[in-house]
Amino acid sequence: MASDTSPVPGAFVHPRALCESIKIGTGTRIWAFAHVLAGATIGADCNICDHVFIEDDVIIGDRVTVKSGVQLWNGLRLADDVFVGPNATFSNDKFPRSKQYLAQVERTDVGRGASIGAGAVILPGIKVGPLAMVGAGAVVTHDVPARAIVSGNPARIVGYVNTPRVEQPAVAPPSSAPGPSGAIGVRGVALHPLTLVEDLRGMLAAGEFLSQVPFAPLRFFLVFDVPGKEVRGEHAHRRCHQFLVCIRGSVSVVVDDGTSSAEIVLRTADQGLYVPPLTWAVQYRYSTDAMLLVFASDHYDPADYIRDYEDFLSVVSA
């Protein structure tokens, strides 16, 4: 039941909280010693714990939990189902000075279903993607991709949420017929064995298009000299098929069909990873010597890319 201090019907405001906003959703609970300024917007069924401060230009979605000791400053946007752990810190000014105010603060976005761990620090202008997880005490200095798990100072990607890792075998298993050596558990994605020949003159890897590689490419590109902390990909294609071969070093590839996901570690040149259209793909954990060869079924077309994860989920669900 709402207390007498509740500014809107259906919301609960503890008698020792100060809530100046009337833009509070039904079922939301604001606990003791929290202070919500008049301009703030809080959605339905949220839980705002003790000693939380929320400034005017803050928008919070539905079913959000903000634990004790958190300050939400102007420019912050929390989407639905976000969790913010105790004493997490957000900032909105890269160069703060006493009594000097920005005409426009930098906006920080935390995507749907993301979690911010206890004591994490999020710098201004950062985007934390949907379903991402920021570890306790992490210092986030760059955008966090959708579903990524980051930790450390500065924060680095250490994995992806609900994404089992598949280690590529050192040598492709023998196959009596060309084709995939095994499904990954993500719709259409599979490892395909290539031909490997070794003799005194060295090593040779080869593949036949339309048999070992399941399409005839119109384009190829190489990715190399990638700093280990960087992430590439982070998109899906509407029509284009791709085939990835790590010809030197190692790289981890995360594939996601909107329902299931997996991480495949590519480390040999005698296997390729087939990625069909409408598969979200990310490459990270490049070794310092990594070189990734990618065959594509189509010429480059910016309109073929889906670069927003939420848009990708909408397309595959349709």
pLDDT digits (tens, 9 = 90+) for 221-279: 999 999 877 889 999 999 999 999 999 999 999 999 999 999 999 999 999 999 999 99
Helix (H) or strand (E) holding 42: strand 41-42
Which pLDDT does position 183 carry in this prediction? 67
pTM of the model: 0.85
Give me the residues of the chain with pLDDT under 50, please.
1-3, 170-180
Q: Could you write out the DSSP letters of every residue in 16-30? A: T-EE--S-B-TT-EE
Q: Note if 14 is an active site residue.
A: no
Residue type, 29: R
| Tens-digit pLDDT profile for residues 172-191 | 444 434 344 556 889 999 99
**Quick one: DSSP state of residue 61?**
-
List 209's β-bridge partners, or say none: 213
How many Å apart are CA 309 and CA 316, to the nearest integer? 11
pLDDT of residue 180: 47
Question: How high is the pLDDT of residue 178?
Answer: 39
Residues 315, 305: Cα–Cα separation, whole Å: 12
* 16 phi, psi to nearest 5 deg: -100, 10
CA distance 190 to 181: 7
β-bridge mates for residue 273, sequence order: 191, 244
Select which of 35, 142, 235, 237 is catalytic. Answer: 235
Q: What is the pLDDT of residues 202-217, one digit of tens each?
A: 888 899 999 899 999 9
